[in-house]
Copies of this chain bind each other. A is one copy, B any other.
Amino acid sequence: MSLAESISQLRIGSGPEQEIARQQFAQFIQKKGLKQTQQRALVLEVFLGISGHLTVQELAEQMKTHEPNIGLTTVYRTLRLLVESGVAEERHFTDGQARFEVAKLGTHHDHLICTVCGNIFEFEDDEIEARQNKIATDRGMTIRRHRHEIYAECDSPNNCPNNSSTQTSSSS
- Show the binding face of A for B, using Cβ within 8 Å: 84, 90, 92-96, 98, 112, 114-115, 121, 123, 125, 127-128, 131-132, 135-136, 139-156, 159, 172
Contact A141 B153 (CB under 8 A): yes
- Decide: A94 near B90, CB < 8 A? Known: A112-B136, A131-B128, A140-B156: yes
Would you list 30 pairs from A and B whose C-beta atoms are within 8 A, ordered by A residue? A84-B172, A92-B92, A92-B94, A92-B95, A96-B98, A112-B135, A112-B136, A121-B139, A128-B131, A128-B132, A136-B150, A136-B152, A139-B154, A140-B154, A140-B155, A140-B159, A141-B152, A141-B153, A141-B154, A143-B150, A143-B152, A144-B153, A145-B151, A146-B148, A146-B150, A146-B151, A147-B147, A147-B149, A147-B151, A148-B149
